[in-house]
Amino acid sequence: MSHLTVEQRYTIEVMKSNGYKQKDIAKAIGKDRSVVSRELKRNCDRRSGEYRHDLAQRKYHERQREKPKSIRFTPGVQRAVEELLRQDYSPEQVVGTLRKRDEKTVSTERIYQYVWADKKRGGTLHAHLRSQGKRYRKRGSAKDNRGVIKNRVGIEHRPEVVEKRDRFGDLEIDLIIGKNHSQAILTINDRASGMLRMRKVGSKQADVVSKAVVEELADWEPYIRTITSDNGKEFACHELIAEKLNIRYFFARPYHSWERGSNENLNGLIRQYFKKSTDFTKITHEMVKQVETKLNKRPRKRFDYENPIFVMNRLLFNQKLHL
């Protein structure tokens, strides 16, 4: 069975009551049509035939309580855990994903124990975990002579709605610099959904970066509201970006990296694949896009282990309903 979240069940209720077909509902919640059909058969009210998301969720939890609690780390569970670990899921993401699928799993701590036991045997599972306790020091964490960006608008002027993270289109952008500062990777993320866009750029020159931003976001242009970046000189052409995309552009306070926390965290995830010692001249566009796809398909704890692609589609669907 493919587990549904409360939000997905609410979407089913709203769309069913408005006469949408099962195939349309399935597309909206990112599930197969058979999942919607099974959900309606199992969880509709027996007397009225109506579907209510709260009743469906209650029935689901009742069935969960009836399941046996003790789970052994059987070969079958080990295979499922290893499959996700080798996709670079963290042990916490492994547990959350398997529970989402209603599959058997063990605790996060037990998976860590399994990984380190595998390492002692000469295995490679540990290589798929994030940097083992090493901290990535953000470029610019030490003061530099960046100068003043012309017509800069500070984050203090950014609309408060951006902080709520409940709409798609409020973006954060940054650059990840390669070995010898020769080339870079442009990273763009949506604050609400966590959706990531990545693009290799040939230099840190502001005109090169601004052109890359506009080209990379061409298909998102109808949905973009704001962009926030740090104060690097590479973003000096912010007015051109704002004009081309018809958005508002803001700058975080200098040395306040937490004001772009989502982007900082994603950059850390990307460094799992492209280390600081990586020569970016040897990285291809295809390699960058492979990492982008992998991270967008990876479940996130803050989304109840849904992935950014699903969350983005849900946000856009809800925004269209309220137009």
Q: Give the pLDDT confidence score for residue 222 in this predicted structure.
A: 93
Least reliable range by pLDDT among 152-156, 247-251, 254-258, 318-322: 254-258
Count of helix runs (H) and strand runs (E) in the chain: 13, 5
Confidence band of 69 (pLDDT split at 50, 70, 90): low
What pTM, to 2 d.p., does this model score? 0.62
- Residues 8, 31: contact at Cβ < 8 Å? yes
Look at residue 207 and tell me whether its pLDDT is greater than 50.
yes
The topology (CATH level 3) of 155-318 is: Nucleotidyltransferase; domain 5 (3.30.420)
More confident residue, 278 or 171: 171
**Phi (first) and psi of residue 134, to 5 degrees:** -80, 135
129-153 average pLDDT score:
58
Banded pLDDT at 142 (limits 50, 70, 90): very low
pLDDT value of position 22: 93
- Cβ pair 162, 267 in contact under 8 A: no
Domain ranges of the chain: 6-66, 75-128, 155-318
pLDDT averaged over every residue in the chain:
86
Out of 1-10, 204-213, 312-321, least confident range: 1-10
Burial tier of 312 (Cβ tally within 10 Å: 0-12, 13-18, 19+):
buried
Residue 234 pLDDT greater than 80, yes or no: yes
- Whole-angstrom CA distances from 277 to 124, 182, 265, 268, 290 are 21, 12, 19, 14, 20
Q: What is the pLDDT of residue 262?
A: 76
